[in-house]
């Protein structure tokens, strides 16, 4: 099964951390050779900016994502 990681690219989420989170996810995928199994797509702002940065993995939404929580989230995914 492929994993779809949606990263909110709205300006609030992006500025609050998704710019770095996106970079981290890309590196994680590369280092673990997951290119064939994981796709990254951009998501639009859904007016949930106050709980951002938001990342949605296979339709499960994660909020206030930072590098530490991202590590745990990615480890649980793959």
Binding site for ligand FES (CB under 6 A): 8, 10, 12-13, 45-49, 52, 54
Using CB atoms, what's the residue nearest to ligand FES? 10
> Is the Cβ of residue 35 or residue 46 nearer to ligand FES in the bound state?
46
* SS3 at position 19: helix
Q: Roughly how many angstroms between the first and final C-alpha of the chain, as a whole number?
A: 11
Least separation in angstroms between CB 69 and ligand FES: 16
- Report the C-alpha gap between 30 and 39 in whole angstroms: 12
> Is the Cβ of residue 26 or residue 62 nearer to ligand FES in the bound state?
62
Give the chain's length: 78
């Amino acid at each position: 099964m492929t994993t779809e990681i949606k990263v909110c690219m709205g300006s609030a989420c992006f500025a609050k951390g998704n710019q770095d989170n996106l970079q981290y996810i890309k590196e994680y995928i590369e280092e673990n050779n997951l290119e064939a199994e994981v796709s990254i797509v951009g998501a639009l702002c859904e007016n949930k900016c106050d709980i951002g940065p938001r990342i949605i993995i296979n339709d499960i939404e994660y909020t206030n994502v930072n590098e530490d929580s991202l590590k745990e989230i990615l480890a649980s995914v793959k």
